[in-house]
Amino acid sequence: MAIQLILASASPRRKELLDQINVRYQVYPVDLDESPLPNEKPLAYVQRLAAEKSAACVAALKTKLPVLAADTSVILGDMIMGKPQTQADAVAMLSQLSGKTHQVYSAISLRGREHSQAVSITEVTFRRLTEREIISYWDTGEPIDKAGSYAIQGIGGIFVESIVGSFSGVVGLPLFETAELLSKQGIEFFK
């Protein structure tokens, strides 16, 4: 079976989601500075990062295959929550999310015959968390490379009281929007 696209990500979660819809891909992760620009709004931020990742991959590989990239961020109010660098970061983020509703923005960028983008915005409500739970969760190792310091598809799912929107978008690749973009570029995913 021939490769259908390049995935500009090393995320095991994005790979699992593409596997779920039977897309054949090759992985070529790109490493970019993911710092928000001054006064950059969350929506513009995730769209810019996804587009920069796909553009960097195209430039590096000079491939004719379509390139798919994504960026997922946890947003509380207007604050972009990145990935925790330390236990203190994770405790601060999860304490802020405790008992509140936040948004998860997941942008995708597909460069092929043309460049197309889509964004999924999902509301996630956390139950109240104790500091002991947060520290115990940190000790599992799961929050380390996760936006907002949690993985909804893992142990972190126990914190989620409700979700309105795309579960796969929160995981890191909104399948509905991804399938729409792939279809427009003639990439099949039911084989």
Least Cα distance to 174 among 83, 48, 71, 74 occurs for 71
Helix axis angle, 87-97 to 131-139, nearest 10°: 130
Euclidean distance between CA atoms 20 and 111, whole angstroms: 21
Euclidean distance between CA atoms 5 and 8, whole angstroms: 10
Q: Rg of the chain's alpha carbons, rounded to an integer?
A: 17
Show the tokens assigned to 18: 């593409």
What residue ranges do the domains of the chain occupy?
5-184
User: 5-184 architecture in CATH?
Assistant: Alpha-Beta Complex (3.90)
Alpha carbon 25 to its chain's center = 18
What is the residue-level pLDDT of the chain in tens, covering all 191 positions? 689 999 999 999 999 999 999 999 999 999 999 999 999 999 999 999 999 999 999 999 988 899 999 999 999 999 999 999 999 999 999 999 999 999 999 999 999 989 999 999 999 999 999 999 999 999 999 999 899 999 999 999 999 999 999 999 999 999 999 999 999 999 988 76
pTM here? 0.94
Q: Which residues are catalytic?
A: 71
